[in-house]
Amino acid sequence: MKHKMKYHLLATLLISSLMMGKNRPNILFVFTDDHAPHAIGAYNGWLKPVNPTPNIDQLASQGMLFEKSFCTNSICGPSRAVIMSGKHSHKNGFMNNGNSFDWNQQIFPKLLQKVGYQTAIYGKSHLKGKPQGFNDWAVLPGQGLYYNPDMIFADGRKRIDGYCTDVVTDLAVEWLTEKREKDKPFMLMVQHKAPHRNWMPALRHLNLYDDIEIPEPATLFDKWEDNAPPARHQELEIDRHMDLNYDLFVDLTPEYNQPASQKRQDRSAWHNMKRMSEEQLTTWRAAYGPKDEAFHKANLKGKELVRWKFQRYAKNYLRCVKGVDESIGRLRETLKELKIDDNTVVIYSSDQGFYIGDHGWYDKRWMYEESLMMPFIVKWPGVTKPGSRDRHLVQNLDYAETFLEMAGAKVPEDMQGASLVPLLKGEKPKDWRRSIYYHYYEYPSVHMIPRHYGIRTNRHKLMHFYQFGEEWELYDLKTDPDELHNLYGQKEHAKITAQLKKQLLKLQKHYQDDSDISEKPVAWQKQVRPGE
């Protein structure tokens, strides 16, 4: 009996020693806000000619790019909550940005700590409350600011002068070089604000792309004629809802006092300018002043004004992306200098996709492809094949499980995703999911996108805007990748519609989602459009 106990003790110590050893990979998870895959060169979208992301593209060439990567709920806080918990929004309790995340619940950083990982997070949390499960952390309050941001540390709130993307990168580099325990594997989460609205670039990038014309999306002037009513009654059009001053900085100064163009106007850029130094403001006005003067002289109207707004917006967005891409390069260079790059998994992702003029829009929220898709790129030395591309249906629901399996930790049975480790090894599991489930909840709210749920398979997508009765949309993504032709209600598509509805119901039962689905329909909060 004593010999058995002794053997058991030695076995336990051996397993523990292996778990605490250096063979397990470090994980560097870089996560941005609102970075659409088609604004990454490696994804070969219509913005590829601009070449906005050379460092991210290099990462993809050295690892695996997931071509069919999607979110479960296309909005900032809920996406992060899904990643932390490995559970859909209705299970982790964070369904919209007005919620507060319960940090006491089971989350993957806590589970990593239990198996010997050192954990840290810097940047945008957007989950409210003090982060749990991290050995070190510093997060932005709410959305945070682009210039001279406040950061919340364990010992209080502090202002850090500089550009937010650089500030977050500095904190991460400092942790890697000075704070981490070198005998432990780590999970480092670097979470940037960029390229979130109001798209304020670093001073060094204010004139980037001035000499080029950004390609226009083919759907810039979409009129949503074949969509269900929600697409026509939103508040995220570049034409009618993107403010020339608050969003595009025309004549914007700290002294600006003109009324906003919409009720829920985002004024964060204007507020941020009040914190900028004289030197920062001087550089800012030197860049935008001549452009503003040229705009006023042009006196643009109609489609030409929309085209100008698109160019201004897209360039600022991509300028913010440039800062993120530089951060990737700096972080990877730090790993090389520390000689730990060969045992560090580097992951790049963002909380959802984004509209960069696609369908005439900006922002996200919809289940349409541009906001449903999210980038996911993984370089795992010795495991992922360089330059490989995966086409399985994956979601942010799978990240927690993936991190845990990478670390050799047990994946809890109540997590709802699946580890991507087999895919990263080049395997093709026969039982992999053939459809994904989506549910968006935040209505009425900013941009007025109604609640909806839906299913996406490799070929089809079915969406139900359930707050307004029988408002459905069906798309064949093979023949109609831009989702311009709603097939719902057409006799020749009745069979696939019935099949998808049946599969959708199975997914809702599988994920135990009965959150708001049965609520009674409400009346449209209709906007009066020009000419109506």
Q: What is the CATH number of the domain that holds 190?
A: 3.40.720.10
Query: Of the residues 393, 420, 447, which one is the last residue of a structural domain?
Result: 420
Looking at the structure, tell me whether residues 358 and 478 fall in a common domain.
no
Looking at the structure, tell me whether residues 339 and 268 fall in a common domain.
yes
Collapse the DSSP code of 97 into the 3-class scheme (helix H, G, I; strand E, B; otherwise coil) and give the result: coil
Looking at the structure, tell me whether residues 450 and 305 fall in a common domain.
no
Cβ within 8 Å of residue 468, ≥6 positions away: 229, 230, 450, 521, 522, 524
- For the chain, give the mean pLDDT: 93
Q: What are the φ/ψ torsions at residue 464 (nearest 5 degrees)?
A: -125, 115
203 found inside a domain: yes
Looking at the structure, tell me whether residues 238 and 372 fall in a common domain.
yes
Looking at the structure, tell me whether residues 407 and 457 fall in a common domain.
no
Task: Say which DSSP state 249 is in.
Answer: -
Cβ within 8 Å of residue 305, ≥6 positions away: none
When divided into structural domains, the chain yields a total of: 2
Query: Of the residues 370, 393, 420, which one is the last residue of a structural domain?
Result: 420
Looking at the structure, tell me whether residues 185 and 137 fall in a common domain.
yes
11 found inside a domain: no
Residue 517 CB coordination number (10 Å):
13
257 found inside a domain: yes
Supply the pLDDT for residue 23: 80
Asked if the peptide bond before residue 198 counts as cis, ω within 30 degrees of 0, the response is yes
User: Please, are residues 68 and 433 in contact by the beta-carbon 8 Å criterion?
Assistant: no
Looking at the structure, tell me whether residues 310 and 278 fall in a common domain.
yes
Candidates 359, 384, 335, 268; CA nearest to 33 is 268
Which one-letter amino acid corresponds to residue 227?
N
Task: Provide the residue range defining the domain that includes 325.
Answer: 23-420
- CATH for 448: 3.30.1120
Looking at the structure, tell me whether residues 382 and 492 fall in a common domain.
no
Looking at the structure, tell me whether residues 186 and 127 fall in a common domain.
yes
246 found inside a domain: yes
Query: Of the residues 390, 420, 450, which one is the last residue of a structural domain?
Result: 420
pTM over 0.85: yes
DSSP assignment of 326-356, as one string? HHHHHHHHHHHHTT-GGGEEEEEEESS---S
503 found inside a domain: yes
Looking at the structure, tell me whether residues 361 and 452 fall in a common domain.
no
Looking at the structure, tell me whether residues 312 and 359 fall in a common domain.
yes
Candidates 126, 73, 127, 71; CA nearest to 442 is 73
7 found inside a domain: no
177 found inside a domain: yes
d(Cα 528, Cα 459) in Å, to the nearest integer? 35
Residue ranges in the chain modelled with pLDDT below 70:
1-22, 516-532
Candidates 455, 434, 454; CA nearest to 391 is 434
Looking at the structure, tell me whether residues 377 and 471 fall in a common domain.
no
d(Cα 135, Cα 114) in Å, to the nearest integer? 12
d(Cα 325, Cα 29) in Å, to the nearest integer? 14
Would you state the structure tokens that stand for residue 422, as one six-digit string? 């087999």
9 found inside a domain: no
User: Please, are residues 467 and 451 in contact by the beta-carbon 8 Å criterion?
Assistant: yes
